[in-house]
Amino acid sequence: MSEWRPTASYQRIAEANRRYYADSAAQYDATESCVTDQRLQRGLEADLDSALACLGRPAAAIRALDACGGSGNVSLKLLRRGVDVTLADISPDLQAIYRQKCDAAGFVSNIVSSEVGTFLAETDRTFDLIVFSSALHHLESIEPVLSAAFHCLAPNGILFTTFDPTLQSGLRPSTRMIQRAEYVAFKLFHQSGDLPRAILRRLKRMSAGVSPHDKSRATLDASTAGMLAEYRIERGIDDLALVKHLQQVGYEVVLHRRYVETRFLTTRRLIERLGDATHFKLLLRKRS
């Protein structure tokens, strides 16, 4: 059990996530690239196989936690492999989608309805594998949560994170411009039903003087919930500093990969030519 307790600021961002997905859970599950893109799904399948191989045990003997598991993108893949999976998430709306998918596939859904940092800090359960998929950038405090995860890992257990952005300040201006243009195209072609509301939310934030680069001063409401939920998306995550911190906690780095990830093939190829790395993934082991 970890001694960390969430601050008021951390809890505010967690609540923003709960409110945001109360409104957008179905849209997220139907359109978000990390859930729907077949190429990304194949890559995630391979990554999960690598993580399980590091444990060196039969799948049925492995206890896994899908942290911030949402609608079950990771959990369902692990269940198909025979792994004992617990999904922890703050959103009852995303949990409901996962439960429906489990029912349809004949799986039993094991769900913890909790903010993930609080669950990790307070539980006395241990896991062989903990996965954060497209999750770290939603957290106001990453290091304390992953430190709490360390205490919940069994000896030689594995932590795997993926689909999180690198620091925006480390990217070329042209890369950042391509990313902004791609997001607009994504809203137009894949979330067009939400586009009028997205414009209204943005106009309301602008009229209130709310900047996504200074989220500490934003009041949590319908217009800011999404911006606050995607807490680190504008500036990204310093993965190099994060890895150094996690090594001090006691994690052993098995894999730290920086790569290009986009929603569209054309934009990915453009950014690859520029030589930037927009995302990172980590495979870490708890040294026994």
pLDDT in tens, 75-109: 999 999 999 999 999 999 999 999 999 999 999 99
The tokens for 186 are: 């994504």
pLDDT of 4 reads 79
Q: Is the pTM of this model over 0.95?
A: yes
Domain-embedded: residue 184: no
pLDDT tens-digit map of 60-71: 999 999 999 999
Structural domain count of the chain: 1
Tokens at 194, concatenated:
């939400």
Q: What is the largest CA-CA distance in the chain?
A: 56
Q: What is the pLDDT of residue 53?
A: 98
Q: Is residue 208 part of a domain?
A: no
pLDDT tens digits, 196-246: 999 999 999 999 999 998 898 899 999 999 999 999 999 999 999 999 999
Q: Contact, 84 vs 64, CB < 8 A?
A: yes
Considering the domain boundaries, does residue 79 fall inside one? Answer: yes
Residue 157 included in any domain: yes
Does residue 274 carry a pLDDT above 90?
A: yes
- Residue 112 in this model has a pLDDT that exceeds 70: yes
DSSP conformation letters of 69-123: -TTTHHHHHHHHTT-EEEEEES-HHHHHHHHHHHHHHTPPP-EEES-HHHHHHH-
Give domain status of residue 185, yes or no: no
Which CATH number belongs to the domain containing residue 239 in this structure? 3.40.50.150
Domain extent for 139:
8-169+232-286
pLDDT for position 1: 63
Is residue 61, in this structure, part of any structural domain at all? yes
